Structure 1
């Protein structure tokens, strides 16, 4: 069995491998299927992926109650693939009624076929009300503390797709031992949350750096050229792991060979800074040439949030997608994200630009953009983005 490098996972004191096996992409279905509906072919694929991951040192396995059939299938596979050092994590969303939360927790244990998990994340503290549901007297965290006292849960953390200020607020409660959050090359706005987690000696787990980090499993050709000689997955992994405050990255493998590029990144980890810096400079130069310094330095200024924008248009996200397309050619990624807006609820809130010129006039948008130095050019940029990546509606996933 190979041993991956480990990092101390914050105050949990766990020795966490720098790569974790995420259970989001190798399950059969996003529906929580009945046992009889799971095919032998699907289970064999998961079994092969798990076996190879364990042999390569992926001791940390993480899944979630609402990752479809993932918990059930992992529960079947793990006894046939033992690992005495396994660190098992699942995630359960908060509920207004803690009894419902506890019932979901029980179901997770049943599906996984275990009596204990090493790590439990409150799944999706994306808004302040989710945080309140978790930490209020009599809330979900009291259920977790009772389970911890009985030995059924090791450490408690939270996962989040929320705004940075909500994440920092949750961290500052000091109620959690670790955090699962988004932070990678194309999305670095959660830097204040990384810093806060470090101050609180929390474990830091990076969610979906390959998929949400730019569809790097099917990378845009312009991005491939810009990250040469590294594959975009290798570059992005090294970008994240060169920061000692980051402890592990989720590898969302759909098949055994999906592990290979991440292992290449780990093999180069000792030279991460030297490998990443020239590529990072090249990417920033491409961004500068495509978008201009004035835009890059000020495009966020004066943007209203989606709740106060006509049609709930999520301007910060849409203009970020515009930048990704123009600078690095991430059309496929932007198409998926654009199509998800308006369908993902609090996992990816707000609406895309389809309403512009249909339900929202340019004059109405202009009034909302009164504080933006780019108010006159933003409508045209939104139309260009819509023309380039619109028309592909996405189904909401809890992992959005």
Structure 2
């Protein structure tokens, strides 16, 4: 998704040769260094079309090609979207087909109902056009676990990394069901680690933030794959430095994690660090649909690690992300009574002020999801 030309389908002739050359050089470099899992999606604009110009030139048996198609109530539309993906990729089959964006209970039910898009994906599997079926999700942990426990899927794409470990129970559930675990966007949604603040760089020494996060994720054997998000051939270089450290991950990680935790306590206070998320309502339980847990989490990162740009990127998605990033910003707090929804929080009295401060710190121009831009 990081190296395509446009987020919308356009005629192939409109794609600049320079952009296509960069994409192909990136793919060839990935194979040179042993990275053969190529992940795309129907929603990634010209990505599939551009990949289709190089994938047929490569040894098919050496590739793991994954695409994703959003669930549709009309299964014929789901099939049309998949057929378009396969035609753009110029392949006879994909190794992995993900149902893209199982983020709510309603979407689960729609997908797995008799005659739903999961059944359609199984037809594709029987026809030899798909080897394995999984799902991708930006949803809450309980939704992910429920989807896993249907026992309908071979793998899951989800978010989990050092700064956001909420989905660990889902990863454990996936392991119990013998599913592959693919971590989405570990270096971008995991903290914009390709452009980290100086404070985070210092706290992660002797590793770079990218190397630290990679090592943290891969030190857990339940995690199988991290997406790199390469946009040019040199983007693999920093990630590859992680590999030689895997055998001694625990001894390398421990002092860094201790330093990160100590800094958070120093800045935010030990009681807050250990209890801030207790008893918080979700956005559906909150007046104005304010996403209190996400806002306070972003505040923690901004203050403890100077991750202000990351916080702004994520905060300003609120209200624009639909079920991919639900809830709204902390606006118009003077018109809302949050007392009843915060009754189970030990910090109920101060949270409204903290929300207002966070809005002042991180608020600004609204941000659209990349695939909506």
State which of 275, 282, 285 in structure 2 corresponds to 1:305: 282
> In structure 1, what is the equivalent of residue 172 of structure 2?
195
8 Å CA contact 2:56, 2:91 repeated in 1? no
Distance 2:141 2:371 in 1: 19
Q: CA deviation at 1:203?
A: 0.5
> In structure 1, what is the equivalent of residue 269 of structure 2?
292
> In structure 2, what is the equivalent of residue 85 of structure 1?
62
> In structure 1, what is the equivalent of residue 346 of structure 2?
373
Distance 2:216 2:260 in 1: 13
The Cα RMSD (Å) is 1.4
Distance 1:256 1:291 in 2: 39
8 Å CA contact 2:290, 2:330 repeated in 1? yes
> In structure 2, what is the equivalent of residue 29 of structure 1?
6
> In structure 2, what is the equivalent of residue 47 of structure 1?
24
> In structure 1, what is the equivalent of residue 325 of structure 2?
348
Distance 2:54 2:350 in 1: 54
Distance 1:198 1:70 in 2: 31
> In structure 2, what is the equivalent of residue 186 of structure 1?
163
Deviation string, structure 1 residues 316-341 (Cα, Å, up to 9, x no partner)? 10011011111111101000001100
Q: CA deviation at 1:389?
A: 1.4
Q: CA deviation at 1:398?
A: 4.5
State which of 140, 143, 165 in structure 2 corresponds to 1:166: 143
Structure 1 residues 355, 34: CA separation in 2 closer, same or farther (over 3 Å shift)?
farther
State which of 341, 345, 356 in structure 2 corresponds to 1:383: 356
User: 2:100 matched to 1:138?
Assistant: no
Long gaps (5+) in structure 1? 1-23
> In structure 2, what is the equivalent of residue 156 of structure 1?
133
8 Å CA contact 1:59, 1:83 repeated in 2? no
Q: CA deviation at 1:68?
A: 1.2
Helix, strand or coil: the match of 2:316?
helix
User: 2:296 matched to 1:319?
Assistant: yes
TM-score of the aligned structures, taking structure 1 as reference length: 0.91
8 Å CA contact 2:7, 2:371 repeated in 1? no
- Size of the aligned set, in residue pairs, is 373
> In structure 1, what is the equivalent of residue 202 of structure 2?
225
Long gaps (5+) in structure 2? none
Helix, strand or coil: the match of 1:353?
coil
Q: For CA contacts below 8 A with separation 6 or more, give which structure has more relative contact order.
A: 1
Distance 2:279 2:217 in 1: 30
Q: CA deviation at 1:300?
A: 1.6
Q: CA deviation at 1:301?
A: 2.1
Q: CA deviation at 1:399?
A: 9.2
Deviation string, structure 1 residues 356-393 (Cα, Å, up to 9, x no partner)? 23xx34xx123332222212211221122112111031
TM-score of the aligned structures, taking structure 2 as reference length: 0.97
Distance 1:211 1:204 in 2: 18
User: 2:369 matched to 1:392?
Assistant: no
Helix, strand or coil: the match of 1:259?
helix
Distance 1:161 1:398 in 2: 14
Distance 1:395 1:33 in 2: 20
User: 2:229 matched to 1:252?
Assistant: yes
Distance 1:274 1:373 in 2: 35
> In structure 2, what is the equivalent of residue 237 of structure 1?
214
